[in-house]
Structure 1
């Protein structure tokens, strides 16, 4: 039987991005009905998978002319590969994917991983004068191209109410944990003589990395067995420079990544070796209030106790498993926190299997089957 060609593409994600490869790509490939090609920037850590091919892009700066040209390069790849289904994983591919659909009639899915317009207005990644222009341009594209999009894939349920242009043709596919063949959910291998803390994911001030370091330092003053491992990539140079200064004289703090991407299996290994994980992402004017972060799924699926920012959405999520110690990073009582850190007190209720991708996979496969 001839397989349906599916392209999953992004400008800013690596070809082994967890959502594109481990969730979407592998879920579709294992049906043996689809020939998957993933387009993203190059990665040295990509493994070989049946029915999945990779088209790496050369790296470029986030603020560069080369970035503006990448969507058109990807359009040329579409034309060469001739997919019947395209999953565009960023707003930057909306126009070129629309053009390809007009020319060749492919099914067009837009994977909405962020409320991009709101995010640009709320963060300082771009210079202030161009934030409003970029945010308006993105929202204009999303609205104008709505008739061309066959279906929206939403990474957060809150986007249903935030993004009116997705109305009546969306499926929520949350970023739940998708263990690979050599990964065992809830497999714990902590060191008995250490208190290992972990911070994983994008390293940034906005994600609470410096609060995590401050808490670790305060705990270390009380108990020298405390260790902190920071695992992830830092996109902003100013944050990376500050990070290196903050940990320069701290031999109990280890950095894996920083100036380079870290393979997802190394992130999971760090989670499984840790005793507690930090989730301290800042509210950012309410931008993150209603999101269920990928880290929360990864930590709870692996039964890692969490030191958690007092965000009502996250607190409610963790309460179903008794998974967290809720803190105010600006007012830490280290002695009290240390006394609360007793592993036997966590994960005494609930079913952490609800944090696994298995609950989302059938929705994706069924949707693609229907569209094709």
Structure 2
């Protein structure tokens, strides 16, 4: 079976699309390609990455030009099945269906909920656009051969549009971030870590402020591994008093992420209580667990259930700086207990939250098609 994945938004070696889905499908015997906007064309791990030039000067031009460039290239590849990853490609999916192709929509996020907090969309238009997006998703998804969703909450909605909706969680690859032996408490530097996109809604302001409080008691640094969005946010955060305790590593490749995780004594995932976040499964939470370090997570009911069941960390109010600081200090002062909780998290990944289990369901979906 010749499978072609499509994205006009994500990078060529996106973790979910390329590293997990495309590579695993190729390893499972499917002839797999990936069309990506503004990428080189090359082969990696057997997957054919096909770049298309979009040359968009802004987000609006990308949405206008990108999908049709991707569609034209998709027709050239002439695959048996197409698997696309961006809501702006919904019209492309419908056009491919009219060509008699098998089409799968991969829903990473609850887009109607996302729209409500998008700063680049004028506030007075957000509710109308959110409603419109939901209607478009309902119309298009009912015509596709399958829908893949990243969380149970998203799947509950899409199941009402298309009975062939399957949850494929974005869990870590079992051995990707796990070292042979967990670092001992003496080996770990007094460094907390945050990996992922850096935004206000993901808690960067509170994390930096908490570091200022922590350092009144103990010398602890925070490593940031990701990009600021918008870029101007970095300059704002640098004005906070706690910034002097921050090491901004920037965007890291997977080997670098693994290295930095191995140096940390706790991982932070302190997203704000936005509706779309409270029902999400944050990949960074599972990556910390996979690396064998304990977590400090937002106290959303879904996240608390995961953390408490796995006994891998603490949950706090992500808007309460004192509570965040207190949790960081607790892990700093209890290194052996931190190590035990980190080990619990790693065992939970091996038993329950591994990508390999999810990938098996993805392969089964294709075989059923």
Output the aligned Cα RMSD.
Answer: 2.6
Separation in 1, partners of 2:142, 2:157: 18
Residue 240 of structure 2: aligned partner: 246
Among candidates 9, 13, 18, match of residue 12 of structure 1: 9
* 1:310 shift after superposition: 1.6
Structure-1 residue corresponding to 2:249: 256
Give 1:49 deviation, angstroms.
1.2
Q: What residue number does 1:297 align with?
A: 286
Distance 1:140 1:326 in 2: 36
User: Structure 1 pair 56/307, CA: closer, same or farther in 2 (3 Å)?
Assistant: farther
SS in 1 for 2:148: strand
Equivalence for 1:343? 335
Q: Report deviation, 1:41.
A: 3.9
Q: 1:171 to 1:54 in 2, by over 3 A?
A: same
SS at match of 1:267: helix
Match of 1:172 in 2: 167
- 2:304 is paired with a residue whose SS is helix
TM-score when normalising by structure 2: 0.88
Q: Secondary structure at the match of 2:44?
A: coil
In 2, the alpha carbon distance for the partners of 1:234 and 1:320 equals 32
Residue 237 (structure 2) pairs with residue 237 (structure 1): no
Q: Deviations over 1:52-106 (max 9, x none)?
A: 3342555646533233210011111111111111111011111112112212x21
For structure 1, which segment, 7-16 or 55-64, has the greater mean C-alpha deviation from structure 2 after superposition? Answer: 55-64
CA separation of 1:28 and 1:109: change in aligned 2, threshold 3 A = same
TM-score, L = length of structure 1: 0.87
Q: Corresponding residue for 2:261?
A: 271
Higher helix share: 2
Summarize the Cα distance change of 1:187–1:157 in structure 2 as closer, same or farther, 3 Å threshold: farther
> Higher mean Cα deviation, 207-216 or 106-115?
207-216
Question: Which sits farther off after the overlay, 348-357 or 307-316?
Answer: 348-357
* SS class of match (1:67): helix
Contact 1:97 1:108 in 2 (8 A): yes
Rounded to whole Å, the distance in 2 between the matches of 1:335 and 1:132 is: 38
Contact 1:23 1:357 in 2 (8 A): yes
- Tell me by how many angstroms 1:222 deviates: 1.4
Question: Which residue in 2 is equivalent to 1:369?
Answer: 367
SS class of match (2:238): helix
Structure 2 counterpart SS, 1:79: helix
State whether structure 2 residue 192 is matched by structure 1 residue 227.
no
Once the two structures are TM-superposed, the CA of residue 151 in structure 1 deviates from its matched residue by 0.5
2:273 aligns with: 283
Moved more, 12-21 or 325-334: 325-334
Mapped to 2, the partners of 1:59 and 1:248 lie a distance apart of 39
* Residues 85 and 47 (structure 1), Cα distance of their counterparts in 2 relative to 1, 3 Å cut: closer
Residue 108, structure 1, aligned to residue 103, structure 2? yes
Report the CA distance between 1:331 and its aligned residue: 4.8
Stretches of structure 2 that go unaligned for 5 or more consecutive residues are none
Provide the rounded CA distance (Å) in 2 between the counterparts of 1:59 and 1:199: 32
User: Could you say if the C-alpha distance between residues 184 and 47 of structure 1 is closer, same or farther in structure 2, counting changes exceeding 3 Å?
Assistant: farther
